Structure 1
Amino acid sequence: MSGADVGIAFMSAFLQVAFDRLATGETLRYFQKRGLNETLVKKLKIMLISVNSVIDDAEYKQFSDPNVRAWLLELKDAVYDAEDVLDEISYELYKRKLEAEAEPQTSVTSKVRKFFNASATSFDQEIESRMKQVLESLEFLESRRIGLGLNEGKDGAVGSVTKLPTTSLVDEVGICGRDKDKDIIVRQLQNDCHFSVISIVGMGGLGKTTLAQLVYNDKRIKSEFDLRLWICVSDDFDVLRLTKIIFKKIMASNDEAEDLDALQNKLKDWSSKKKFLIVLDDVWCDDYVLWEAFLAPFIGGVVGSRILVTSRNEKVALAVPSDEIYHPNHLSDEDGWLLFTKYAFRNYCPPTNFNHEEIGRKIVKKCKGLPLALKTIGSLLYRKSSWEEWNNILRSEIWNISYNNILPALILSYHYLPSHLKRCFAYCSLFPKDYEFGKKELILLWMAHNFLQASQSNKSIEEVGNEYFQELVSRSFFQKSSGNEAYFVMHDILNDLANFVSGEFCFKQEVKEVAYNLEKTRHLSFLCHEYREYKWSENLQKIKKLQTFLPLLNKWGFKWTSRDLIFDQLCKCKCLRVLSLTSNDTIREIPNSIGNLIHLQYLDLSYCKIKRLPKSVCLLYNLQTLKLLECMLLVELPADFHKLKNLRLLDLRFTFLKKIPSNMGTMKNLLVRLVSFKVGKCNELNIKQLGELNLQGALLIYELQNVVHGMDALQANLKEKKYLEELRFRWNEDTNDDSQNKKDVLEKLQPHQNLKKLSVEYYGGTRFPDWFGDNTLSNIAELRLKSCKYCFELPSFGILASLRSLFIKKVGWHCGYWC
């Protein structure tokens, strides 16, 4: 193996995308055939290998040396530019190949050769010029690395994959040493005195939220108060917003017309009759005037009513003002050791041959009794069994680093992340603190930016993404939401860490505007409330190389600016990989200019009021994910839709297409999400069209009386749809003729044995098909038979060992026949 090959084999994750492009050799061949300076390509490869050798050391030193951090950010910016150039070459080659295949008069080979031999175009000249600029930037950065003292092959970051709002729920299994703190606060809340505020104050990672959750769920507190409310406040202490949230929870009202005066008068009347406990978690506001306005309706509350506040800042407790301020203690060494072992050993006790407890206890002391630090370091050491590895972590210089209140233990855990996980974690800085995110959605975003490295096995890219995600969960960088196990959260200090390592490349614009240099921004997210309109347009004009445009919708909804402004500006962002315009009800049509976004890999138009997509969408050859969820006015997809060969997910749930494009069966990697399919009386929506789709999730097939021939149902090929988990078959309720045809149709609609749920409604046959009684339904958990009134014979369901729910209504078999 050559030196260059060795460099490629251990390439840092944020250089991997560029190297994947260079490794194919197509860029070099392009330069050679077009008469361009091929030396540029060779130099780029060598230069990336050179800077790659010191990246681990730069990642290590960036927390303590601002010059190294600046160098690293400049390097990442240059690499982003290199990726853009190489991706554009790849796109151009693919585009020319498709155009050549579309011309019938000469062979494909001769047409491709003709393209390569043609004289250099303006596109070629631009590519060569940009390549020179990238190379100059990398050469300058490479020349500075020695002066910065960056060393090659720094050990420590190698490895491989083997804020939702807080809620009141708590997992008590993973909590140690908080019983005394809980009892003290419970007694304070039980004092029978006037309305008061109690504050829990302490540094990040100390477990304030966990302590508040323990108190909130204590049986003594549940019996003490008529009503308990939990509200995660975070950075946005908006009096009207918080008052609305409390009002909605108390009154179960969705009235948006109420102003602050009306809301507070109603709350004042309510609080005078009910003894309440309101927990305000993660509060940052220390403005006395705002607190005075917020507390106004509660001051005269029932005796014993309380508000419990958690905050990192003592000034918040003084501004409330708090009648009691409680500072939780750090965990004792013994409690810290107990918590550490729960994460370091997972079975909650050291193995019998464990011989380095002394080192472990010294590491626990360095965590200074902070639960978050103990969890992340414990999760890190779970993967390291040797005495040497534990000792290296104990002796690491990172324990001496102090940066922006980010715990050294978290910096150390980040340092030991495999490089491919570092890039995935940094991207999550787009999420606001306390934001809830889903695993599948995040994996799609990672995939759109080529963060997921190709596996040597036969695993799909989605499976690789799932491994990455689970690895970050197991290392305590992500944790399950206590309110909804389908979602995940990041602790706010880990969010701070992600913000630091992502630097200027990720910018989340929240309600409060902040001064920020946007010239290097590549990823933009924003979060708003239902009564505010997000004003991102001015910022967007400053971002020339944007790759992510991502609205983060919360339960309060979202307001958009005008459609024209959106597309006029976004279609100038030629580097976009992720574009979401979800829930934009101002959009009635998509302009042809969207075809200019040649890098686009993720497009979300869900809930938009579009009737069709322009033909230019079929020029987005890199597109991997297309979401059209609840585009209920959408009637058709472009005829050339099958040209999107890289498309992997098409979400058509709650759309009502009148026609499915032909040749979609050639899109071998495509998974399609449908909620329903209405069988038409004409060829446009013939059931056999489902045979071309690789379906996923749940599907209702209705109007089945329109299937004229059983062979059409057979061509739907449901038996091969292994990703379908739920099927509903429905005939028209009033159709009762030709029972033999219905039996034949249902026989031919035999599903894959992976099916979990099956429903058959208004079936007009006299018996069910044989596959009801064989291994086809071996994994079925729920079976519904509704209004199959002509059926007088059922097969035995005795072999359905996995069946958990059986619903039968208006089925006409003889009583006692079924077993």
Structure 2
Amino acid sequence: MADALVSALVSTILNNLDSLFREEVRLAGSLKTELESLQSTFTTIQAVLRDAEQKRWKNEAIKNWLGKLEQAAYDLEDVLDDFQSEARGSGSKLSTFFSLQNPLLFRSIMARRVKSARERVDAIAAERIKLHLETGVGEAVIEGNKDRETSSLVAESEVIGRADEKGEMVSMILSNATHHDGLSVYAICGMGGLGKSCDIQELDPLQRLLVEKLVGKRVLIVLDDVWSESRDKWDRLKQALQSGGRGSAVIVTTRLEKVALMMATVPFRRLGCLSNDDSWSLFKQRVFGMGTNEGNADLETIGRQIVQRCRGVPLAIKAMGSILSSKSQETEWLNVRDSEIWDLEDEGSRILAVLSSSSRNIMDLSKLPPLRSLILNSNYGFRSTSNISNPSNFIGNQKYVRVLDFHDGLSNAAFKSLKHLRYLRLFGSNVKALPESISSLHNLQTLNLQCCISLQMLPNGLKNLKNLKYLDLRGCHELISMPVGLGQLTCLRKLNKFVVGKEKGRGIDELKELALEGELSIGGLCNVKNSTEAKNANLIEKKNLRSLGLSWRSKESTHQQHGNDEEVLDALQPHPSLKKLRITYY
């Protein structure tokens, strides 16, 4: 994953440099020279990245080189972002910045920062020669994920349950071995575990080696935790496996039913859930393995209730046991037992929630380095998401964060330094008004306020967010009206809720120039004075709208009949491509 991030980062930086050269900016003197040098260096690095990606797993030095390059690229991205943010903050084009009082001072400061970053990148780029990285290497070889490699060495005493399934599988193999002349393939859906790596990468030598090892021999092969759904790959492997002697068999374990159906030559076996006794034994093995908490009758009672909620899924039981093995307080166990994650209907989502609850409540986020993304929410129902005593202060110090997902209200101070923020989500926050400092987030592209059920007012300066593309107001039922000048957000494409106000700058005509897409719900149409005002919304030209809601209700006042509601409705005629129309309180 790291190498893919590096490739994406390098591409992003080259695009940013191209953008700087294309825009109306006078990049004179040393600043222009440094940026051109950076562009040349990153172009060279990009040419050898494919080779580095292929060799990363086998060469620790190359792995470290990619790590250094990644960090340097992030730091340079911050420098370029600072440059563009500061410049654009004073006008619509970068060129206007240089008409300020100190353009020479600005260029000098930027040139020094870019030079420092360029020297660091140059040093990293020079190391490619020592690492023998080549340019123009062909398609990368797909490597296995080392974290998913399994082993045939299993402590049998630690295996709990599955005795009946094991006996049934052995009986099937022995029975078919006497009656089957070809290769028998048995698939087990819901397991994972055994694998073997090989240094040979090319297909033909691998097949020939496998045939040489199997020819004429009666063998039992286990292919564990298979994920590939490619029938072509399986057919090529099966050709080699069929060189085994009469009665040979292959056991496949997989979590995917599609894989089991594709590979099996006899009906596959689907593993069921563990019994109550086996579930409790597995949980005890994990949570009381070192003798911790053992003998505490209260914890055992709560533990049995937690195990029941795991519904016999080994992965969930093991995860919960690992979490609780380090907790000795009854309240901590009760928090887990009473968590909302158990209410999730989908089993996959429930297991993911359980696993997620385990990298929680143990990380001191104040010790982390500067972050690019920070997601702190309570979607999984635990009462504490982190060890932050002052979240506003902590988030305010993350000045280079691009993505912020937070469910509690934040102070004005928290947003003032987040000038690089692109995505802000305050899902389900109980705030009535947002901090006005959100209006200074000039790079913000997405503002997600979904289910902020108490929200009444948006920031007055929202019109300053010139890069805003997506404003999600679903579930914001208490919203009184929109801030003045929303129509100035010419980049806005998704606006699912608009509440018409009475004052100038809050009217329905603010929608006129917005090229909106998808879903739009317009409320407060009782505040539209006449059909001319309604026609100015220009709904007839919004060909990318698919769903439209029209409501004459307003939080500010009850609907008073103007006598022209029918004319207003006529003037709100949408484009013929509309798929869904909903009219309420008309």
TM category, shorter: 0.5 to 0.7
Match for residue 673 of structure 1? 495
Opposite residue 105 of structure 2, the aligned amino acid is A
Match for residue 114 of structure 1? 99
Opposite residue 100 of structure 2, the aligned amino acid is F
Is the partner of 1:660 in helix, strand or coil?
coil
Over 3 Å counting, the alpha-carbon distance change for 1:690 and 1:62 in structure 2 is: same
Q: Distance in 2 between matches of 1:614 and 1:92?
A: 22
Over 3 Å counting, the alpha-carbon distance change for 1:634 and 1:707 in structure 2 is: same
Q: Distance in 2 between matches of 1:116 and 1:556?
A: 53
Question: What is the CA-CA distance between 1:557 and the residue it aligns to?
Answer: 4.9
**1:210 and 2:259 are equivalent in the alignment:** no
**1:136 and 2:131 are equivalent in the alignment:** no
Match for residue 17 of structure 2? 22
**1:150 and 2:144 are equivalent in the alignment:** no
Match for residue 89 of structure 2? 95
Paired residues for 1:289-688 under 5 Å: 511-512=357-358, 528=360, 534=361, 536=363, 538-543=364-369, 545-551=370-376, 554-557=379-382, 559-560=384-385, 565-581=390-406, 583-584=407-408, 587=409, 589-655=410-476, 656-675=478-497, 686-688=507-509
Q: Distance in 2 between matches of 1:692 and 1:625?
A: 19
Find the partner of 2:77 among 83, 101, 111.
83
Could you tell me which runs of 5 or more consecutive residues in structure 1 were left unpaired when the two chains were aligned: 1-10, 102-107, 159-180, 189-197, 240-258, 294-480, 491-508, 514-527, 529-533, 764-819
Q: Distance in 2 between matches of 1:593 and 1:277?
A: 42
Match for residue 314 of structure 2? 280
Question: What is the CA-CA distance between 1:113 and the residue it aligns to?
Answer: 4.9
Over 3 Å counting, the alpha-carbon distance change for 1:662 and 1:679 in structure 2 is: closer
Question: What is the CA-CA distance between 1:156 and the residue it aligns to?
Answer: 0.8
Q: Distance in 2 between matches of 1:186 and 1:642?
A: 70
Is the partner of 1:145 in helix, strand or coil?
helix
Q: Distance in 2 between matches of 1:224 and 1:78?
A: 48
Match for residue 709 of structure 1? 530
Q: Distance in 2 between matches of 1:727 and 1:80?
A: 42
**1:754 and 2:577 are equivalent in the alignment:** yes
Is the partner of 1:120 in helix, strand or coil?
helix
Q: Distance in 1 between matches of 2:270 and 2:129?
A: 62
Opposite residue 663 of structure 1, the aligned amino acid is G
Question: What is the CA-CA distance between 1:57 and the residue it aligns to?
Answer: 0.5
Cα offsets for 1:708-743 (capped at 9, x unmatched): 4222322233333444433344457998967x6232
Q: Percent of aligned positions with the same letter in both sequences?
A: 27
Q: Distance in 1 between matches of 2:272 and 2:19?
A: 68
Cα offsets for 1:631-656 (capped at 9, x unmatched): 23333333332222211111122223
Over 3 Å counting, the alpha-carbon distance change for 1:145 and 1:703 in structure 2 is: closer
**1:127 and 2:110 are equivalent in the alignment:** yes
Over 3 Å counting, the alpha-carbon distance change for 1:754 and 1:199 in structure 2 is: closer
Q: Distance in 2 between matches of 1:750 and 1:542?
A: 53
Per chain length, whose mean CA-contact separation is higher, i.e. which structure has more relative contact order (CA < 8 Å, sep 6+)?
1
Q: Contact 2:190/2:256 (CA < 8 Å) preserved in 1?
A: no
Opposite residue 47 of structure 1, the aligned amino acid is T
* TM-score, normalised by the number of residues in structure 1: 0.45
Q: Contact 2:519/2:548 (CA < 8 Å) preserved in 1?
A: yes
Over 3 Å counting, the alpha-carbon distance change for 1:562 and 1:27 in structure 2 is: farther
Could you tell me which runs of 5 or more consecutive residues in structure 2 were left unpaired when the two chains were aligned: 1-5, 142-164, 173-188, 195-223, 227-252, 262-266, 289-297, 328-344
Is the partner of 2:9 in helix, strand or coil?
helix
Opposite residue 600 of structure 1, the aligned amino acid is L
Match for residue 50 of structure 1? 44
Q: Contact 2:468/2:489 (CA < 8 Å) preserved in 1?
A: yes
Q: Distance in 1 between matches of 2:388 and 2:316?
A: 36
Q: Contact 1:671/1:696 (CA < 8 Å) preserved in 2?
A: yes
Q: Contact 2:10/2:73 (CA < 8 Å) preserved in 1?
A: yes
Over 3 Å counting, the alpha-carbon distance change for 1:21 and 1:265 in structure 2 is: closer
Opposite residue 9 of structure 2, the aligned amino acid is F
Over 3 Å counting, the alpha-carbon distance change for 1:97 and 1:36 in structure 2 is: farther
Question: What is the CA-CA distance between 1:482 and the residue it aligns to?
Answer: 8.9
Is the partner of 1:278 in helix, strand or coil?
coil
Question: What is the CA-CA distance between 1:620 and the residue it aligns to?
Answer: 1.9
Q: Distance in 1 between matches of 2:170 and 2:514?
A: 58
Q: Distance in 1 between matches of 2:515 and 2:24?
A: 36
Which range moves more in the overlay, 74-83 or 129-138?
129-138
Match for residue 149 of structure 2? none
Q: Contact 1:546/1:573 (CA < 8 Å) preserved in 2?
A: yes
Over 3 Å counting, the alpha-carbon distance change for 1:132 and 1:226 in structure 2 is: closer
Q: Distance in 2 between matches of 1:710 and 1:205?
A: 65
Over 3 Å counting, the alpha-carbon distance change for 1:90 and 1:542 in structure 2 is: same
Is the partner of 2:546 in helix, strand or coil?
strand
Q: Distance in 1 between matches of 2:559 and 2:435?
A: 39
Q: Contact 2:419/2:443 (CA < 8 Å) preserved in 1?
A: yes
Q: Distance in 2 between matches of 1:673 and 1:702?
A: 13
Over 3 Å counting, the alpha-carbon distance change for 1:237 and 1:632 in structure 2 is: farther
Paired residues for 1:684-699 under 5 Å: 686-691=507-512, 693-699=514-520
Opposite residue 255 of structure 2, the aligned amino acid is T
Match for residue 316 of structure 1? none
Question: What is the CA-CA distance between 1:287 and the residue it aligns to?
Answer: 7.8
Question: What is the CA-CA distance between 1:60 and the residue it aligns to?
Answer: 0.6
Over 3 Å counting, the alpha-carbon distance change for 1:554 and 1:681 in structure 2 is: closer
Q: How many residues are aligned here? A: 445
Match for residue 743 of structure 1? 566
Question: What is the CA-CA distance between 1:76 and the residue it aligns to?
Answer: 1.8
Q: Distance in 2 between matches of 1:74 and 1:762?
A: 61
Q: Contact 1:697/1:725 (CA < 8 Å) preserved in 2?
A: yes
Is the partner of 1:132 in helix, strand or coil?
helix
Question: What is the CA-CA distance between 1:628 and the residue it aligns to?
Answer: 1.5
Which range moves more in the overlay, 693-702 or 62-71?
693-702
Q: Distance in 1 between matches of 2:379 and 2:62?
A: 37
Q: Distance in 1 between matches of 2:170 and 2:584?
A: 55
Q: Contact 1:209/1:281 (CA < 8 Å) preserved in 2?
A: no
Over 3 Å counting, the alpha-carbon distance change for 1:205 and 1:117 in structure 2 is: same
**1:725 and 2:546 are equivalent in the alignment:** yes
Question: What is the CA-CA distance between 1:211 and the residue it aligns to?
Answer: 6.1
Match for residue 471 of structure 1? none
Opposite residue 391 of structure 2, the aligned amino acid is I
Over 3 Å counting, the alpha-carbon distance change for 1:265 and 1:638 in structure 2 is: closer
Find the partner of 1:13 among 8, 20, 30.
8
* TM-score, normalised by the number of residues in structure 2: 0.61
Cα offsets for 1:14-71 (capped at 9, x unmatched): 31121122223449997855x6454322322222122222111111100111111111
Over 3 Å counting, the alpha-carbon distance change for 1:620 and 1:564 in structure 2 is: farther
